[in-house]
Amino acid sequence: MNREYVDLRSDTVTRPSAAMRAEMARAEVGDDVYREDPTVNRLQEVVAELLAKEAGLFMPSGTMSNQVAVRAACRGGEAICEADAHTFHYEMAAAAARSGIQLVPVAGTRGVLTWADVEGAIRPVADYFPRTGLICLENTHNRAGGTIFPVDVMADVAVKARARGIPVHLDGARLWNASVATGTPLAAYAASADSVSVCFSKGLGAPVGSCLCGSREFVEEAIMVRRSFGGAMRQAGILAAAALYAVEHNVERLGDDHRRARTLAEGLADIPAFSVDVPETNIVMVDVTDDAFTAPALAGLLEKEGVSLHALGPRRLRAVTHLELDDADIERALNAFEGAVARLRSS
Ligand SMILES: Cc1ncc(COP(=O)(O)O)c(C=O)c1O
C-alpha cells in the first residue's frame, strides 16, 4: 500500500485486511441456492438478529438489495424516495427498468423526509392515478453528506405509512454509522422499516456484500426476485465470512472515522476558501466559496499531490473517511489542501 496516498473518494475503497482474508480462506461453504452454505446462513441470522427482523438475505451489492426490496415490497406503481436518494440517482433507473415502478423523488432536508414531506406525494385513490406502494428512506444519507435520519422522525413516518397500508424500505447501507454516532441500536432504526438493506463494503472493510432483512414471508419473495435479477450465488460463504468478520470487528471503530471526518472538516473550515458542513458521520461536504478556482480544479491539483476526492459539482467536494486512513493521513490531506489553495490563488 502506498502510505503517501490519501484516498478520500469513498469508504468503499478499502481492501480486505489479512485477518479478514484468513477468515475468508477458512470459511465453510456449500451451495447457497440450495440454502446449504453454513457461513451465508450464519451471516443472515446474525444480521437479522441485529436488526430484529425475522430473516435476512445475503446480496451481492447494495444496489441489488435495494432493487430486490423495491420489487418485492412495492404494492403499487409508485415508490416515494428522497430526491437525493441513492436509489434515485445511482441505480440506473432500475426500479422502472426491472420492475415497472416509477420512483417519486421528494425533496427532504439534509436527506431527512418528514411525514409532512411524504404525505403530499402519496397519491389519492383514483382510477387515473398510480398507487403509492412503497416509501424508501436512506440512513445515513450519502448525497446529503452522511447525515443521520433521526430515529423518532423515522418512527413517525413508519407509523403513519402503516396506517395508510404503505410499507417502508430502509436503505441502510451505512446504518452502522448512524448507530455508532448516536448510540441508538440498529434495531431501533430498523423497527421503522418493513425491509432494511445494510452493506458490508462501505466503511466495514468487506470486499463485497449486503444483507436485506425483513419478515420471513418478505425474504422468501426476495429470494425469488434476487434469482430473477441474477443475484443467486453458490459458494458465497467465502464472501459472507468477510462480512461476518466486518460486522464483528469493524463496526465500533467507525467512531474513529467520524472523529477524523470532524478533524478534517474543522481544518478545512479554517481555510477561508471553504464553507464546510459539520459532518454527522464519515462524509465531509465542502463548498468552494473562493471564486478564484472551482472544485474540479482543486480536486485535480490535489490528486497530483496524492490526495484523492470527488468533486460533486463546480463548487462542491466530498471527502469520506474510512478504516485505511489514520490521523497522519488527515494531517497530510489538510496540508495538501492548504498548499493547493495557495497555488490556485497565485496562478
Ligand atoms: C446509500 C447507498 N445505498 C446503496 C448503495 C449501493 O451499494 P453498491 O455499490 O454495493 O451497489 C450505496 C453505494 O455507495 C450507497 O451509498
Q: Give the closest residue to 278 by CA, choosing from 132, 26, 110, 136.
A: 110
Q: What backbone phi and psi angles, to 5 degrees, belong to 328? A: -65, -35
Same domain, 266 and 221: no
Q: What is the CATH number of the domain that holds 313?
A: 3.90.1150.10
Q: What is the CATH number of the domain that holds 157?
A: 3.40.640.10
Same domain, 133 and 118: yes
What local confidence, expressed as pLDDT, does residue 3 receive?
53
Same domain, 229 and 116: yes
Same domain, 178 and 261: no
Same domain, 313 and 212: no
Strands laid side by side in the 274-276 sheet: 274-276, 283-288, 316-320, 310-311
Residue 4 has pLDDT above 90, yes or no: no
Residue 1 has pLDDT above 60, yes or no: no
Q: Is 199's C-beta closer than 6 angstroms to any atom of ligand 1?
A: yes
What range does the domain containing 307 cover?
Answer: 253-346
Same domain, 241 and 258: no
Cell numbers representing residue 198 in the block: 445494510
Across the chain, what does the average pLDDT equal? 97
| Ligand 1 atom closest to the CA of 138, numbered from 1 | 1
Same domain, 241 and 262: no
pLDDT band at 73 (very low <50, low <70, confident <90, very high): very high
Same domain, 173 and 234: yes
Residue 340 has pLDDT above 80, yes or no: yes
Same domain, 92 and 205: yes
Q: Is 62's C-beta closer than 6 angstroms to any atom of ligand 1?
A: yes
Cα–Cα dist 332/183, whole Å: 30
What local confidence, expressed as pLDDT, does residue 2 receive?
52
Beta strands in 145-296 (DSSP E): 168-172, 195-199, 210-214, 274-276, 283-288
Give the pLDDT confidence of 197-232 residue by residue, as tens digits: 999 999 999 999 999 999 999 999 999 999 999 999
Q: Is 138's C-beta closer than 6 angstroms to any atom of ligand 1?
A: yes
What local confidence, expressed as pLDDT, does residue 347 receive?
83
The answer to whether residue 164 sits within a structural domain is: yes
- In this structure, are residues 43 and 244 in contact, taking their beta carbons and an 8 Å threshold? yes
Report, as an integer, the average pLDDT of 15-25: 98
The answer to whether residue 4 sits within a structural domain is: no
Q: 276 has which bridge partners?
A: 286
Cell numbers representing residue 82 in the block: 428522497
> What's the total number of domains in the chain?
2
Same domain, 179 and 241: yes
Report, as an integer, the average pLDDT of 10-22: 98
Collapse the DSSP code of 110 into the 3-class scheme (helix H, G, I; strand E, B; otherwise coil) and give the result: coil
Q: What backbone phi and psi angles, to 5 degrees, belong to 248? A: -75, -35
Q: Is 201's C-beta closer than 6 angstroms to any atom of ligand 1?
A: yes
